[in-house]
A and B are shown apart, each in its own frame.
Chain A
Amino acid sequence: MDQKQSTLRLPAEKLYAHELEALRASDKGERPEGWQLSPRAVLTFIIGGEAGGTAITPKYIGNRRIVEIAIATLLTDRALLLIGEPGTAKSWLSENLTAAIHGDSSKVIQGTAGTSEEQIRYSWNYAMLLANGPSNEAIVKSPIYRAMETGGIARFEEISRCASEVQDALISILSEKTITVPELGSEVPANRGFSIIATANTRDRGVNDMSAALKRRFNIVVLPAPADLDTEIDIVRKRVSEIAANYRLGEALPTEAAVHKVVTIFRELRAGMTLDGKEKIKQPSGAISTAEAISLLVNSMALASSFGGGSVSDEDLAAGLLGAVVKDDGKDDAVWKEYLENVMKKRGSEWRGLYNACRELSS
């Protein structure tokens, strides 16, 4: 318990250990080989529910079908690629799926421009290599290597940030399901249950586009922005209160109206359309994700508590909004101004305060 309280962030399988335990105890479904839980129990773990009297908190709100497709993909021993805009809970979903299916979400490769093929396959402990020559002991196994040995799931974050030739090292792993170690003349076959969950960012598209051969070995699931206003408000409120508790921001949480306004603005700008669908609006160049709405509200709370009157005011929100929307100066600025004049201004008295605050800041 002590570790739990002082560690800044626990992996999902530790954080939700009691939920996983309860699910395992009450799980009656058939468990595919190498799985800790039956597919249905995994689904319950992600979307929430109840298991033998223990409440299971929802980890991914709003789109049950996406989760089903992800689980079904892993059932067919295909690798899963989650892609989406920044802030659509890709890594969060990947971590929780791995925790539920495999019980260990720590086998992670973080894709960067510097990721090399050794990090995907294996490398050597050079001291031992030089002393004793190639041997099993001298191999430094990559997370994927380890997952293949144990029949578990390895995670590959931000795969599209790696160079293409490095990505392509995955092709043989995914189609042959083995890693060959020519130095030892041996082959490591994957145990049943082995799979990879990769994530990629749509904003990175074109940086290191995945080859068609590699793409074909993944089932690609696009994580959408939340489907409707209420879902998004739920997500934002849940996360804001969680984060506020973590950081011990003593302020009153933003009012329902404030959350509603922020989410409305975000949704409208993201969709390029007013919520009632009657008016089209221009979209800003940057991503306007739910995660961004969450951090905006948290920032506003911090602003209000440190410098403001204590509760989140329209001015605090306006500062955050301007920063979130206007990322690329010239264009976004025009978008934001047009939105203020064409949409927000006509919204009536409840919006008047926010409108005035925004207008003051952006003119």
Chain B
Amino acid sequence: MSAMKAAVKETAGVHLFGIRHLSPAGAIHLRHFLNEIKPELVLVEGPADATPLIGHITRSGVTPPVAILAYTDQLPIRTLVFPLASYSPEYEAFRWAASNGAEARFIDLPSNIAISMHLGKREAVEEGIKQEAQQHWSNVNERYEKVAELAGEPDYDSYWERYFEHSSASDTYRSAIAAFSEQMRLLNEEEERSSTPLEAASNDIREAYMRSRIAEAIAGGVPADRIVVIAGAYHVSALTTAIAPMSDEEAAALPRRDTKLTLMPYSNYKLSNHSGYGAGNHAPAYFDLAWQCLQADDPGKLAPLYLSKIAGYMRESGTYRSAASVIEGVRLAEALTSLRGGRLPVWRDLRDAAIVCLGHGELSVVSEALVKTDIGTSIGALPEGVSQTPIQDDLNRNLKLLKLDKYKSAVAADLELDLRENRRVKSEEAAFIDLRRSFFLQRLELLGISFVRKKTIRQDGATWAEHWVLQWSPEAEIQIVEATLKGETVELAAAFAIKEALEQSPDLRTAAKLVKQAWECGLPSSMEDARRMLQQLAVDAGAIEQVAGALRELSALIQFGDVRKADTSVLIPLLKQLFLRGTLLLVDSAACNDEAAAAIAAAMIDMHAISQQHYDDVDDERWLKQLELLAYRDDRNAKLSGLAFALLLERNLIKADRLAAEVSRRLSPGTDADTGAGWFEGMSLRNRYVLLSRRQLWEQLDLYIHSLDETQFRRSLVYLRRAFSGFEARDRSMVAELLGELWDVGALEGGDALSQPLSEEEQQTLTELDEFDFGDI
């Protein structure tokens, strides 16, 4: 206990309150502490230059979560985000100050220095994360997990919640968190200095700066015991007078980058994604509930509230769960807590209870309701009159950079782009300006911003020309602001949009389209993500038409990838895999009726084309093998078997005697007439010259027709007429000539005779045939 008391340091009488960012218990205990001390001045860890924004944050109409956003106003844009949830202790401090007439100030390094230092650190990291540093971070993590383990908790978050969030006495909370952080810091500090010197130095600088701000406040005339300092618990032990504050000269020597500050609405989803930022990350909506219960001074209400919310969401989506199940859930969570000697269930207990009692043991049943209850869809809101969002700035800067600013008008204007290199200009930048414009416009279009509209134009195989229509409107402006939530720049937002689309588990064709969109937008890493998704989908693809569709897109990308200066060769393995998948699907898919056969025939023709265009890459041999298998199978759709045969014939892979044998087998009197003729119809779907140049084929056909009796002939006539109806007049006359030769009446004479228009009698017979009911067709 004495160690705990000692840990709450006094700095010349200033009150220190260590917090964990995003902690409801921290916020409520801080409120009690402030009510007790009633300070004149509240100093909060956060960028000092953002102090003027505090007034905005506490204005009515502000709905958390919101964030203070600092961004450099020069390329490349770098940002620092300082999010605040309703249950952030910092936010509570501002609210308290505003309603009690106290002044609130930020005391951490101003954003221009913070960003610059952050960049310095990052560059050092980018040079190669040293093994030592990584080791250090994992050691630190291990130590925290070790604490949890010693307390018998499954993870540190549960430990924190059980031992700190559930602490009900403000004094104990304040001294316990200070003692805990000081001890942890002592454990980690030495290693930090040797392994990650930059990190340690940046902490030193920040703390020295904070000390100087505190000293300045005291010098400014506020009595020290009327000041409360609120900082991350980690820093509290360093905010003593025992260490010298930063001098003005030292502060002036720090590196700087010009920055702007703005407020932006934040979302629970983003809070839950934000890494390395205090408690309550994974479940902001849950901690929001906890905060409501704490404010109502009824922490025991959280368990039933949380579980009935989940049950409520489940009922909404049609899965009925009774109140009895909720009661059982609360009891189970309490039993789980009692196993550890806890007072109240923690999030983990409640979640597990929800899975067992509401999900009947299965996470998948409750997962949607859990996500809604844990994270939720709520986003923050800011009233009008707050500064511009970074994406608006980014858009304006891009327009200027790409010499497009004159298009920002209410009158629609056309813009034609030629993506190829312009060889008449000197700089590379100018040579590819149209390409860069295209990337930019494609991204805006992807984001659904009505400022740009693409006109489709016909091109023969080339992909270098684009035609855009640009028109500015207030709606477009709003859409851009909305895109802020997707990312801070147009580029990031577009990448996020693709990521979102990918997460909605698209089908094979959509995924292939996304690969193409990422390529059009010049987002190589998104393209890689889309490619990976496509690969995953490829495994399960069961429809050959889908596979062929995706293959078509991929094939085009691989061939024309360099128009947009993108390396599309990474798609080749995928092409291979998809092609293999399609190949393996072929024989099974071909067991279908005539209606479905049309689509599969188109897919086969596409795949066959790809097998030749990408001969080096795909497994052509296997494809041919499967074609061969299909060609000789009798239990598949005859038309498709015929097509497979034609494709093989075209590749000259069928020897003359094999051809004769197969044709006579297919067209033998034993086979029923419609199958035989259907097969021939499939054959004729392909290049007819191949057929016309093979004399045996016609000999066999001739023999076949001779062998048919009257009824059989009438039947097969229906199919054969259909097959030949696709032949052009020129082809038909060639067939006629061939037959003339066969019958030894001379090619010309035979051709003439066959090309005679039908007599009325013959016509009559055919019409009857068309109307004749064979009984089973």
Residue positions of A touching B, CB distance < 8 A: 39-40, 43, 64-65, 68-69, 71-73, 75-76, 78, 81, 83, 215-216, 219-222, 272, 278-282, 334, 338, 341-342
Q: Is B584 an interface residue (CB 8 A)?
A: yes
Interface size on B, residues (CB 8 A): 27
Note all chain A residues with C-beta closer than 8 A to B325.
Answer: 216
Note all chain B residues with C-beta closer than 8 A to A64.
Answer: 154
- Complexed CA–CA distance, A179 and B760 (Å): 93
Question: Contacts A72-B335, A73-B335 known; A221 to B532 CB distance under 8 Å?
Answer: no
Residue positions of B touching A, CB distance < 8 A: 154, 322, 324-325, 328, 331-332, 335-336, 338-339, 352, 356-357, 360-362, 532, 535-540, 577, 580, 584
Whose C-beta in chain A lies nearest to the C-beta of B330?
A76
Q: 17 A-B Cβ contacts within 8 A? A: A64-B154, A68-B339, A69-B332, A72-B338, A72-B339, A73-B332, A73-B335, A78-B331, A216-B322, A219-B361, A220-B356, A220-B361, A222-B362, A272-B539, A279-B535, A280-B539, A341-B580
Contact B332 A72 (CB under 8 A): yes
- Complexed CA–CA distance, A75 and B338 (Å): 10
- Complexed CA–CA distance, A72 and B335 (Å): 5
Note all chain A residues with C-beta closer than 8 A to B540.
Answer: 280, 282
Whose C-beta in chain A lies nearest to the C-beta of B357?
A219
Q: How far in angstroms is the closest Cβ of chain A from B522?
A: 24
Whose C-beta in chain B lies nearest to the C-beta of A278?
B532
Contact A65 B154 (CB under 8 A): yes
Q: A64-B154, A65-B352, A221-B356 are in contact. List 6 more A-B contacts (CB 8 A).
A: A68-B339, A69-B356, A216-B324, A222-B362, A334-B584, A338-B584
Contact A72 B336 (CB under 8 A): yes
- Complexed CA–CA distance, A65 and B332 (Å): 13
Contact B577 A342 (CB under 8 A): yes
Note all chain B residues with C-beta closer than 8 A to A278.
Answer: 532
- Complexed CA–CA distance, A219 and B325 (Å): 10
Contact A222 B361 (CB under 8 A): yes
Q: How far in angstroms is the closest Cβ of chain B from A347?
A: 15
- Complexed CA–CA distance, A272 and B535 (Å): 13
Contact B356 A280 (CB under 8 A): no
Whose C-beta in chain A lies nearest to the C-beta of B333?
A72
- Complexed CA–CA distance, A183 and B700 (Å): 88
Q: How far in angstroms is the closest Cβ of chain B from A10?
A: 29
Top 8 A-B residue pairs of the complex, sorted by shortest distance between their CB atoms: A220-B361, A72-B335, A280-B536, A222-B361, A75-B335, A280-B539, A72-B336, A220-B360
Note all chain A residues with C-beta closer than 8 A to B532.
Answer: 278
Note all chain B residues with C-beta closer than 8 A to A68.
Answer: 336, 339
- Complexed CA–CA distance, A220 and B359 (Å): 8
Question: Contacts A280-B536, A281-B539, A342-B577 known; A69 to B584 CB distance under 8 Å?
Answer: no
- Complexed CA–CA distance, A341 and B352 (Å): 40
Whose C-beta in chain B lies nearest to the C-beta of A64?
B154
Contact A39 B154 (CB under 8 A): no
Note all chain A residues with C-beta closer than 8 A to B361.
Answer: 81, 83, 219-222
Note all chain A residues with C-beta closer than 8 A to B328.
Answer: 76, 78, 219
Contact A219 B535 (CB under 8 A): no
Note all chain B residues with C-beta closer than 8 A to A281.
Answer: 539
- Complexed CA–CA distance, A98 and B538 (Å): 47
- Complexed CA–CA distance, A310 and B632 (Å): 47
Q: How far in angstroms is the closest Cβ of chain B from A66?
A: 9
Q: How far in angstroms is the closest Cβ of chain B from A62?
A: 13
Most buried by A among B356, B532, B577, B580: B356
Contact B535 A76 (CB under 8 A): no
Note all chain B residues with C-beta closer than 8 A to A221.
Answer: 356, 361
Whose C-beta in chain A lies nearest to the C-beta of B619?
A341
Contact A215 B360 (CB under 8 A): yes
Contact B577 A76 (CB under 8 A): no
Contact B356 A39 (CB under 8 A): no
Q: How far in angstroms is the closest Cβ of chain A from B316?
A: 19
The residue from A69, A75, A279, A334 contacting B352, defined by CB atoms under 8 A apart: A69
Contact B356 A219 (CB under 8 A): yes
Whose C-beta in chain B lies nearest to the C-beta of A71?
B339
Contact A43 B356 (CB under 8 A): no
Most buried by A among B361, B536, B577: B361
Question: Contacts A73-B356, A280-B536 known; A40 to B339 CB distance under 8 Å?
Answer: yes
Q: How far in angstroms is the closest Cβ of chain B from A358?
A: 18
Q: How far in angstroms is the closest Cβ of chain A from B618?
A: 14
- Complexed CA–CA distance, A221 and B352 (Å): 10
Whose C-beta in chain A lies nearest to the C-beta of B538?
A280
Whose C-beta in chain A lies nearest to the C-beta of B537?
A280
Whose C-beta in chain B lies nearest to the C-beta of A40?
B339
Note all chain A residues with C-beta closer than 8 A to B357.
Answer: 219
Note all chain A residues with C-beta closer than 8 A to B331.
Answer: 76, 78
Contact A282 B362 (CB under 8 A): no
Note all chain A residues with C-beta closer than 8 A to B360.
Answer: 215, 220
Whose C-beta in chain B lies nearest to the C-beta of A273?
B536
Contact B539 A39 (CB under 8 A): no
Note all chain A residues with C-beta closer than 8 A to B536.
Answer: 279-280
Contact B539 A282 (CB under 8 A): yes
Note all chain B residues with C-beta closer than 8 A to A272.
Answer: 539
- Complexed CA–CA distance, A43 and B335 (Å): 13
Whose C-beta in chain B lies nearest to the C-beta of A210?
B360
Q: How far in angstroms is the closest Cβ of chain A from B587?
A: 11
- Complexed CA–CA distance, A69 and B577 (Å): 44
Note all chain A residues with C-beta closer than 8 A to B584.
Answer: 334, 338
- Complexed CA–CA distance, A282 and B584 (Å): 13
- Complexed CA–CA distance, A40 and B538 (Å): 48
Note all chain B residues with C-beta closer than 8 A to A72.
Answer: 332, 335-336, 338-339
Note all chain B residues with C-beta closer than 8 A to A342.
Answer: 577, 580
Note all chain A residues with C-beta closer than 8 A to B537.
Answer: 280
Q: How far in angstroms is the closest Cβ of chain B from A210?
A: 10
Q: How far in angstroms is the closest Cβ of chain B from A102?
A: 18
- Complexed CA–CA distance, A159 and B621 (Å): 52
Whose C-beta in chain B lies nearest to the C-beta of A82?
B361
- Complexed CA–CA distance, A68 and B352 (Å): 10
- Complexed CA–CA distance, A216 and B361 (Å): 11
Note all chain B residues with C-beta closer than 8 A to A39.
Answer: 338-339
Note all chain A residues with C-beta closer than 8 A to B338.
Answer: 39, 72, 75
Whose C-beta in chain B lies nearest to the C-beta of A75?
B335
Most buried by A among B331, B335, B338, B357: B335
- Complexed CA–CA distance, A220 and B532 (Å): 36
- Complexed CA–CA distance, A219 and B359 (Å): 10
- Complexed CA–CA distance, A324 and B336 (Å): 38
- Complexed CA–CA distance, A343 and B154 (Å): 35
Q: How far in angstroms is the closest Cβ of chain A from B238?
A: 37
- Complexed CA–CA distance, A81 and B356 (Å): 10
Note all chain B residues with C-beta closer than 8 A to A279.
Answer: 535-536, 539
Note all chain B residues with C-beta closer than 8 A to A338.
Answer: 584
- Complexed CA–CA distance, A215 and B537 (Å): 36
Note all chain B residues with C-beta closer than 8 A to A73.
Answer: 332, 335, 356
Note all chain A residues with C-beta closer than 8 A to B539.
Answer: 272, 279-282
- Complexed CA–CA distance, A237 and B489 (Å): 52
Note all chain B residues with C-beta closer than 8 A to A76.
Answer: 328, 331-332, 335
Whose C-beta in chain B lies nearest to the C-beta of A80?
B356
- Complexed CA–CA distance, A78 and B333 (Å): 13
Whose C-beta in chain B lies nearest to the C-beta of A337?
B584
- Complexed CA–CA distance, A338 and B338 (Å): 50
Most buried by B among A65, A73, A278, A338: A73
Contact B339 A280 (CB under 8 A): no
- Complexed CA–CA distance, A338 and B582 (Å): 13
Most buried by A among B332, B532, B577: B332
Note all chain B residues with C-beta closer than 8 A to A69.
Answer: 332, 336, 352, 356
The residue from B322, B339, B538, B577 contacting A43, defined by CB atoms under 8 A apart: B339
Q: How far in angstroms is the closest Cβ of chain A from B158?
A: 10
- Complexed CA–CA distance, A71 and B337 (Å): 12
Q: How far in angstroms is the closest Cβ of chain B from A330?
A: 9
- Complexed CA–CA distance, A91 and B721 (Å): 69
- Complexed CA–CA distance, A282 and B542 (Å): 11
Q: How far in angstroms is the closest Cβ of chain A from B530?
A: 14
Note all chain B residues with C-beta closer than 8 A to A43.
Answer: 339
